[in-house]
Structure 1
């Protein structure tokens, strides 16, 4: 059982490194990692707050009269639940195909091409970050955490981008050639 935990920790660390690579601007790696840490802490806080809220409590109020702006986690490191949510969000938005355009006899056609897992994961993380940047909100940390939560629930811009790519791939007649054709008798 210890191996599984180590594997998950390494996988989560790899996801964090990919987020860092995409978020870095002008060589400021500390800023990028701080954005990711804060967004994971926000996910953890929202997860704990939603867990504490019962079905009879109102959504806008904090439970037990606590101030909602007060952070729930005391350490800098986010807990394992936020990494599970992050992994689920990436898994939900990872595409299995990508659309490449080919020019054939003067016309341009979109052709679906299967993706390997690493490239699909990288593409999913880029979509999540792009969707977070397009959101209207106060900070990138809040927008990123909200987009990760939405992607883990199979909603949000990044998840819909994946659905759109898969619809385009299904419409293409070249994607049908690997499927079996039924014979009419």
Structure 2
């Protein structure tokens, strides 16, 4: 494989309704099989309904939820002397956002029996209130990082 440096990150255009790159990234993550209009309707419905229930603008609602979900540390597996250690490492701001969106979508998809827009709305409201599956995932990650803090010296930068 050629190793001639990093490829530049693609610039994501803001979404049509709010002009927000954050909303567009959420739409792109929700999208399945290239069906962007369906993903847009799911995301727009979810953040508008969540905003109404919390008496905030839709963008404030989404940002507040992500602020409560985004982790400060992540665990990376490293093999040292025949055993694997989960090493806590600091997370960059871009990676925080990626993990936050990923956990938000995963926990909303885990709720079964209701339409995706309603599941996403419920998860966003729960994340704003520091409850729900995505916030639990963040807390579990932080607990594991705290438990494995003794192995932090194995991290190489």
The answer on 1:145 being equivalent to 2:145 is no
Distance 1:37 1:82 in 2: 9
* CA distance, structure 2, for counterparts of residue 128 and residue 142 of structure 1: 13
1:174 is aligned to 2:148: no
**2:50 is the alignment partner of 1:43:** yes
1:128 alignment partner, one of 104, 110, 120: 104
1:112 aligns to what SS in structure 2? Answer: strand
Q: How many angstroms apart in 2 are the aligned matches of 1:47 and 1:131?
A: 20
Label 1:124 to 1:82 Cα distance change in 2 as closer, same or farther (>3 A): same
Cα deviation, residue 19, structure 1: 0.6
How high is the TM-score relative to the length of structure 2? 0.80
Structure 1 gap ranges (5+): 1-10, 49-79, 178-185
Q: Residue 12 of structure 1: CA displacement?
A: 7.4
Q: Tell me by how many angstroms 1:47 deviates.
A: 3.2
Q: Aligned partners of 2:66 and 2:122: how far apart in 1? A: 13
Does structure 2 conserve the Cα–Cα contact (< 8 Å) formed by 1:95 and 1:120? yes
Structure 2: gaps spanning 5 or more residues? 1-17
Please report how far the alpha carbon of residue 42 of structure 1 lies from its aligned counterpart in structure 2 after TM superposition.
1.7
Is the aligned partner of 1:94 residue 2:101?
A: no
1:151 Cα deviation from its structure 2 partner:
0.4
Equivalent residue number for residue 27 of structure 2: 20
Cα distance in 1 for residues equivalent to 2:70 and 2:99: 7
Q: Deviations over 1:25-75 (max 9, x none)?
A: 111111111110111222133235xxxxxxxxxxxxxxxxxxxxxxxxxxx
TM-score, scaled relative to structure 1: 0.68
Runs ≥4 in structure 1, deviation > 3 angstroms?
none
What is the CA distance between 1:176 and its match in structure 2?
Answer: 7.9
